[in-house]
Structure 1
Amino acid sequence: MKWWILKTYLGDRLEEYWMPDDEIENLLVGAANFADERAAVPGRRREIPVVVAVDVLTVQQDGELLSAAVSRAIRPEFMYPLELWPRPPVAVTQRQDVCRPLKSFLWSLRKIRVTDVEEGLRVMEECHICLNSPTIGDRISLIPNCGHAFHNHCLVKWLTWSETCPVCRCEAHPYRPTNPYYMFGP
């Protein structure tokens, strides 16, 4: 198995965990080598399921309140939804209410990783969707047409049910969502 096949399916998710490129490559090369070794054993099936488990730790910064560290911890709701990936993992059912061109548009949004709070505040003082300021580790995306910035996970959820910017109401994308209740419920 080629490690880059695993990177196609797992690389972006591991980047969301703020894993450096060399560590991602080492992890995936090791998983691919393990699968190849297991497949080479006589009498074994050629298809070897590979499970990659990652322990994610949040480090409290000097002078940071514990509540602030906990609030920026990496959680599924702060990540790009798996069901909207261009090639979702096998066990994930793709959302049928989001058209393929919209999924591609959402996936292609430029993501800026906040490595310094002051830098993050220059890009976005506050996410107008969740009303939180950027913190270290956040991924911020801008709407191409107007340049307004939001947390990537907030913007993706917003744009699956609205085609306009939450701030200025300009057209953010030309695709019509079919389920306007996705984010907030009926």
Structure 2
Amino acid sequence: MRTLYLARHGEAAGDLTPGGREQALLLAARLAGVPLAAVHHSPVARAAQTAAIVAASLELPLRQSDLLADYPPYLPLASELPKAFAPVALAHLADYSDERRSGGPTLGTEVLAQFATPDERQDLLITHSQIVCWFVRAALGAPEWRWLGLDAANGGLTIIQYREHWPASLVAFNDQAHLPPELRWTGIPEERRAVY
């Protein structure tokens, strides 16, 4: 069985903010004792900085992967989307540059082929909200467009297990129990934040 731990990078304004660095340290503390093989990360600075803090805290190797970069992993047609959601979703996708949109679907297929497979490893992926949500969508067998409308908070932890001859198991999504209330839900628009 493979257990994959995924986390969105810490809060950032270009580079990590002080809160983002604290989120990374708390994520590392949460994962202390987990027999991780490596920390894989996006090449984008905010993810690379988060990964460096976590890897240093846990004394793990760092592995950069373009497959974990900041891109839309699937570009739906308007006809695939619920009618009321289509304008919002398509406006969100328009925020991505043409370059990021054009390569996204290929990378989206490749990232699942690389990491969403059963084996004996336990790895941590530090990436971006849409990539975390893409893995969740795939684990649940939801339509490809369904990564849209999900949000992963900065420093939130998602855990998925992969076993041979068994569907993927979503163990946790966006778990922020390791973060104090003031560091939870960052990176998610105010109107979509949960309060607890």
Give the structure with the higher percent helix. 2
TM-score bracket relative to the smaller structure: under 0.3
Higher-strand-fraction structure: 2
TM-score normalized with structure 2 length: 0.27
